[in-house]
Structure 1
Amino acid sequence: MTERQLPAIPPGMHRPGIARGLVSITGQRYLLELLVRKELRVRYQASFLGLAWSYVKPGVQFVVFYFVMGQFLQMDRALPPFAVYLFSGIVLINLFSEVLGNATRSVVQNGALVNKIFLPRQLFPVSMVWVALVHFVPQLLVLLVGSLIVGWRPDVMGIVAAVLAILIVLTLALGLGLAFGAVNVAYRDIENIVDLILMVAIWFSPVLYSLDMVRQTFGEGSIMLALYQANPLTIAVELFHRAFWYPAANPADRADALMTNVMDRGVIALVVCAIVLVLGDRLFTRLSRNFAQEL
C-alpha cells in the first residue's frame, strides 16, 4: 500500500516513525522520566556514596584550583571573596560539561533501545539535561550557602542574571550535544573531540581569573578580546559572577562599569545559543533516520 493509499490521520495525531525534531518529545513526559531514572540508577549502581558524588567532583576541583590559583598565584587578594568567585564558575562550567559530554554519548549508549523500539531519539540527549540538573541543584545550594556566609544578599538583577546564565549554558550544551550526538553514531572520534573541548572550556572562560585580566592582556578593542567576550560561556560565567560574587564583593556599589552591559550581552548570547539549538536539532533529526542501521 502506497503512502497515498494510507488512511487519513485523525486531527491531533501523527504517523508513527516520522522524526519531527524536539517537538516530538512533547507529551513524552513518562518516557523522559524513565530515561532519567534509568541513567541515575545505572550511574550509581553499586556505588557507596551514590548522589553524594555530585558534591565530590566540584569539591575536589574547588580545593585544587583554590590553592593553586588563590593561594599560590594570590588570586584571593585580587578577587575577594575568591572562593565564591571560583566556585560559581566551576558550578556553571560543570553543568555545561555534563550536559554536552553525556548528550554526545547518549544515543550510542542507548543503542539497544534504538534498535528495539521506536521513540523520539531526542529523548536521549534531553534526558541528560535533567540528569545534569539533578547534580547541579545540590552544587547550587552549596554556592548559595557559601555566598550568604560572606555577605551576599540576593537582588532582582542578580536573580535574573543567574537564570539567564543557566538558560545560556543549557541551550548551548543541548544544541551542541544534539549535533555531536548525532554525528557520534557514525564517527566515534567525536567523543574524543568533545572531551578536548570540555578539557579547555574552564580555561577559556573567566573561572580561574578575571575578565579584567584578559582585557589588560589583549587590550581594549582588540579582536582577541572581542572573540573572548563573544564566547557564550564567558558571558554565562560573568552573569553568574554578577549574581553571586559581585554583590558580596561590592555591597555598596552594584553597578560597576564592567557589569553594565553584561545583561545585554547575555540576551544576545541566549539568542545565538537558541539558533545553535535549532541547527543542532535539525541535524539530529536528519541523521536520526539512520541510527538503527549504524548502531
Structure 2
Amino acid sequence: MPIDLSEFDVPGRGRGILDVFRRKYLLQLLVRKGTATRYRNSVLGWVWSYVKPAAQFIIYFFVMGVIMGLDRGVENFPVYLFSGVVAVNLFNEAFGNATTSIVDNRALVKKIYLPRELFPIAAIIIAFIHFLPQLAILLLVCFLIGWTPTLIGLGGALLGILLVTAFALGLGLLFAGLNVRYRDAQNFVELIRMFSTWTSPVLYTWMLVQNALKNHEWMFHIYTWNPLTVAVELFHQAFWAGTVPPPAAGEPDPSIMPDFGIAVLIASLICVVMLIIGQAVFRHFERSFAQDL
C-alpha cells in the first residue's frame, strides 16, 4: 500500500525565508525569548530602551548642534537629529542582532533542525520592538512643538522602516552565515554600523554633502541611493518637515533631495538584491552550521 508523503518535509531541506511563514509559532517563541531575556537581572530593565538613545542624542546634539553650530543653521535641529538617530538605531540593532543570531542560538542549531532563517528574522523583530519606545518619544516631541501629521508623511515613515528592516535583514543573513565560520566577520559588521551614522544625513544635512561634492555629482548620486540615506530622509519628511515653515519662493527645500523619487526606487532595488544575496550566502553556509559551531 503506497504511503502519501506529500505532507512531510525532507529533513534538512527547506525553502529559506518562505519556511518562516509556516512556523509562526516558533518565531513567536524566539521573539518572546529575546525580549524576555534582553534585560534579565537588570535593575532598570526596559528603561534602558529610553536611556541609551537619550544619551546618544545628547552627545550628538552637543557636538553637532552646539559646538559645530548646526543648531543655528537647521530649524528645529533636535527633531531633525533625533528622527535620523532613531532610524539608524533601528538598522544598527537589527543588523547587529541578526549577525550574531546563529552563534547566540548555537544550542538549538546543533540539536534540532528548524529553518535557520527564524533566528535572524526574530532578531529583526526584536530590534523593531525596542525601536518603538524611541519612536514614541519622537512622536511626543513632534506633537509638543506643533507637528501636524500627513498621510503622505506617515506612509513615507512606514516605507523608511521597511527599507531599514529589509536592508538589515539582507546584510544580517549575509554576515550571519559568514560569522559562523569566520568569526572576524563580526568586526566588519561593527565597521558598517559605525559608518552608518556618518554616511547618512543624520548629523548633517544632505545639502552639505551636495556642496562638498559639487564637482563630483556621480558621488552625490551614489550617496543618495544608499537605503539608509533614503530611509533617514523619509523620516525627516515625515516628522521634521512638518515642524518647520515651508521655504520661501526660490529657495531650495531642505527636506527633499534632488531626484528623490528615483533614489527611493534604486534604494528599494538595492534592498531586494541584498535580500537575494544574503539568502543565497546564508543557505550556502547553513549546510555546515552544526559542525562549525
Residue 215 in structure 1 maps to residue 213 in structure 2? no
Cross-structure match for 2:5:
9
Give the drift of 1:86. 0.3
Q: Deviations over 1:164-214 (max 9, x none)?
A: 111110000000000000010000001111011101210111000000011
> Given the superposition, is the C-alpha separation of residues 290 and 273 from structure 1 closer, same or farther in structure 2, using an over 3 Å criterion?
same
- 1:191/1:49 CA distance change after superposition, 3 Å: same
* Correspondence for 1:289: 287
Q: Residue 266 of structure 1 aligns with which residue?
A: 264
* Equivalent-residue separation in structure 1 for 2:114 and 2:215 (angstroms): 51
- Equivalent residue, structure 2, for 1:205: 200
CA distance in 1, matches of 2:211, 2:123: 38
The residue number in structure 2 matching 1:224 is 219
Structure 1 residues not aligned, in runs of 5+: 1-5
Give the C-alpha shift of residue 221 in structure 1. 5.6
Supply the AA of the counterpart residue of 2:155. V
- Cα shift at 1:271: 2.3
Q: Counterparts of 1:257 and 1:243 in 2: how far apart (Å)?
A: 13
1:79 aligns with 2:74: yes
Q: Which residue is 1:113 aligned to? A: 108
Instruction: Specify every segment of 5 or more residues in structure 2 that has no aligned partner in the other structure, as ranges.
Output: none
Match of residue 3 from structure 1: none
Question: What CA distance in whole angstroms lies between the structure 1 residues aligned with 2:67 and 2:110?
Answer: 53
Structure 1 stretch displaced more, 29-38 or 112-121? 29-38
Change (3 A) 1:22 1:59: same
| Equivalent-residue separation in structure 2 for 1:70 and 1:98 (angstroms) | 25
User: What amino acid is aligned across from residue 25 of structure 2 in structure 1?
Assistant: Y
For 2:109 and 2:270, how far apart are their aligned partners in 1?
31
- Structure 2 counterpart of 1:275: 273
Of 137, 145, 148 in structure 1, the residue corresponding to residue 143 of structure 2 is 148
Q: Which amino acid aligns with 1:14?
A: D
Distance (whole Å) between structure 1 residues aligned to residue 218 and residue 268 of structure 2:
22
Of the three residues 156, 164, 176, the one matched with 1:181 is: 176
Q: CA deviation at 1:261?
A: 3.6
Deviations 1:33-91 (A, max 9, x none): 11112122222110011111111111001011111111111111111100100000000
Equivalent residue for 2:253? 256
**Aligned partner of 1:73: which letter?**
M
Q: Is the 8 A contact 2:225 2:264 kept in 1?
A: no
Amino acid in structure 2 at the alignment position of 1:269? A
Distance 1:44 1:25 in 2: 26
Q: Distance in 1 between matches of 2:235 and 2:102?
A: 31
- Deviating above 6 A after TM superposition, structure 1's stretches of 4 or more consecutive aligned residues are none
Contact 2:102 2:116 (8 Å CA) reproduced: yes
Indicate yes or no: 2:155 matched with 1:160.
Answer: yes
* Preserved CA contact (<8 Å) 1:238 1:262: no
- Shift in Å at residue 250 of structure 1? 2.7
- 2:22 corresponds in structure 1 to 27
Give the conservation status (yes or no) of the 8 Å contact 2:16–2:117. yes
Judge conservation of contact 2:147–2:243 (CA < 8 Å) in 1: yes
CA drift of 1:8 comes to 5.2
User: TM-score scaled to structure 1, two decimals?
Assistant: 0.92
Instruction: Work out whether residues 205 and 233 of structure 1, in 8 Å CA contact, stay in contact via their aligned partners in 2.
Output: yes
Structure 2 CA distance for partners of 1:7 and 1:272, relative to 1, 3 Å: farther
For the Cα contact (< 8 Å) 1:81–1:150, is it kept in 2?
no
1:264 deviates by 4.0
